[in-house]
Amino acid sequence: MLLYDMNLRKQVMILESRKDRCALRVEDVSPFIVMDVLEKAQEMEARGEHVIHLEIGEPDFDTPEPVKETAIKAMQAGDTHYTHSMGKLELREAIASHYKKKYGVVFSPDQVIVTSGTSPGLLLIFSVLLERGDEVILPDPHYACYPNYIRFLEGVPVYVPVREEDGFKYRSREVMNRITSRTRAMMVNSPANPTGAVTTAKEFKALAKLGPYIVSDEVYSGLSYEGQEHSILEYTDQAFVINGFSKIYAMTGWRLGYLIAPKAFIRPMQKLQQNLFICASSFAQEAALTALSECDTQVAEMVQTYNRRRLYLLERLKAMGIAPEVAPTGAFYMLANMKSYAQDSYSLAFEILEKARVALTPGIDFGDNCEGYLRISYANSLENIKVGMDRLEQYLEQKKPCPG
């Protein structure tokens, strides 16, 4: 009896010691630093200070009216129930038609899964690809959340530095040198966050020849301002594509995306979708059909506006001596090279926020190779961008470059 009591107390102590502890896989998830900047900016605004927001990667446009009208009509008609776990067939057919029209690629609607934003799509893809210790090659800099998905699923991110003088794009030989027997996939993002880089046909072709599956984040497709835009599916069918409606149609709050994948992986991902998410919003899917079929004019106007902002921002950064060597031609981001002023981008971003009242994202949020840069989002009005650049210029004039 005494031994039983001792064992019971020991078990209780063990349980108590773990009671308030999160699982280690959650503790390993790094914070999204841009949110730290946003929340600090909001605190300042609550005190009455005027802050220019150039940190958030969210369109400042409203969702096109035809999209909103379709959603309202769908809800009023009772389209508020579960759909097929892979998404409405009509929407999947429209996505396949969109890729055929835009890129000349053909795939079955049964290779499309509609998701509640692109984030669940990434989770589904890496869930079916990765065993413990499998590797995924990433560019550095990269979208901040990619490594967290990989590590959460017990994979290993393998970083390939991409350089300012190359427009922050892969050198295929350096990618090849990172490939091992554990390499399961490589990640491509075009147009890219945080760099604004757009991958060319030649560059896609070179990457497609290297062997591993390619996971291509194309959520900024359509936001390209020079030359022709491409999809990885033009060059290989051994690829997974992530795309959605958030950026190009200004539908971030609708939480609607999709993935395109080789047929062999669809059923496993569908089973995960059924268990984790069931399906995407029914009326949002209906609205997405309108976005694809009726909103070319609104999209063209948004793209023209973004490009005017891009060109203005580039000239202002050049005048300040902090512009990137190669002009970015996609998405709505630009990296400012602040290395002559500070190496600690986190501290610099918060100093600029407090002293100049301009919210910018520290480069370190996007990888070690982005340290010394600040990401500027031009998803804000030209008027606000002008004010923000005036404030930043005044701040830099007072700060002066670091010696050496």
The two tokens of residue 158 are 């393998």
> Does residue 2 carry a pLDDT above 70?
no
Residue 79 shares a structural domain with residue 58 = no
Q: How many domains does the chain have?
A: 2
Percent of the chain with pLDDT over 90: 89
Contacts of 369 (CB under 8 A, 6+ apart): 140, 141, 159, 161, 162
- Give the C-alpha separation, 172 to 207, whole Å: 6
Residue 224 included in any domain:
yes
Is the Cβ–Cβ distance between 112 and 161 less than 8 Å? no
pLDDT value of position 234: 98
pLDDT confidence band for 387 (50 / 70 / 90): very high
pLDDT value of position 139: 98
Considering the entire predicted model, what is its pTM?
A: 0.92
Residue 274 confidence (pLDDT): 98
In a domain, 20, yes or no: no
pLDDT band at 9 (very low <50, low <70, confident <90, very high): low
Query: Does 287 lie in the same domain as 151?
Result: yes
In a shared domain, residues 314 and 174: no
Cα–Cα distance, 207 to 285 (Å, whole number): 33
If asked whether residues 371 and 276 sit together in one domain, one would say no
pLDDT of residue 379: 97
pLDDT bin (cut points 50, 70, 90) of residue 18 is low
Distance CA(193)–CA(218), nearest Å, equals: 10
Indicate whether 6 belongs to any domain. no
State residue 5's pLDDT score.
62
Q: Looking at the structure, tell me whether residues 289 and 309 fall in a common domain.
A: no
Q: Tell me how far apart the alpha carbons of residues 249 and 13 are, in angstroms, rounded to a whole number.
A: 54
For residue 178, the domain's CATH number is 3.40.640.10
Residue 4 has pLDDT above 60, yes or no: no
| β-pair partners for 140 | 161
Q: What is the band of 23 on the pLDDT scale with cuts at 50, 70, 90?
A: confident
CA atoms lying within 13 Å on the CB side of residue 333: 30
Q: Is residue 5 part of a domain?
A: no
Residues 225 and 305 in one domain: no
**How large is the average pLDDT for residues 374-394?**
98
Q: Rounded mean pLDDT of the chain?
A: 94
CATH code of the domain covering residue 318: 3.90.1150.10
pLDDT band for position 353 (cuts 50, 70, 90): very high
pLDDT-based confidence at 22, cuts 50/70/90? confident
Of 278, 294, 310, the last residue of a domain is 294
The per-residue pLDDT for 48 is: 97
**pLDDT higher than 70, residue 59:** yes
Domain that holds residue 98: 65-294
Per-residue pLDDT band at 12 (split at 50, 70, 90): low
Any domain includes 320: yes
pLDDT at 19 (0 to 100): 65
pLDDT score for 27: 74
Clarify whether residues 45 and 80 are in a common domain: no
Q: Are 302 and 289 in the same domain?
A: no
Sign of CA dihedral 161, 350, 34, 167: negative
| Domain final residue, candidates 277, 294, 311 | 294
- 32 vs 273 pLDDT, higher one: 273
Co-location of 201 and 99 in the same domain: yes
pLDDT for the residue 404 = 54
> Does the structure show a pLDDT above 80 at 124?
yes
Q: Which amino acid is at 146?
A: Y
pLDDT tens, 154-198? 999 999 999 999 999 999 999 999 999 999 999 999 999 999 999
Sign of CA dihedral 94, 246, 317, 201: negative
Split at pLDDT 50, 70, 90, the class of 33 is: confident
Final residue of a domain: which of 259, 275, 294?
Answer: 294
Which residues, in sequence order, are CB contacts of 136 under 8 Å at separation 6+?
126, 129, 130, 146, 150, 155, 156, 157, 158, 183, 184, 185, 186, 187, 215
Up-side HSE of residue 353: CA atoms within 13 Å toward CB? 26
**233-272, pLDDT tens digit by residue?**
999 999 999 999 999 999 999 999 999 999 999 999 999 9
Look at 251 and 10; give whichever has higher pLDDT: 251
Specify if 29 maps to a domain.
yes
pLDDT score of 11 more than 90: no
Residues 272 and 345 both lie in one domain: no
Residues 103 and 127 grouped into a single domain:
yes
Beta carbons within 8 Å of 372's beta carbon, 6+ residues apart: 337, 338, 339, 342, 343, 345, 363
The answer as to whether 323 is a domain residue is yes
Q: Is residue 33 domain-shared with residue 121, that is, in the same domain?
A: no
Q: Is residue 180 part of a domain?
A: yes
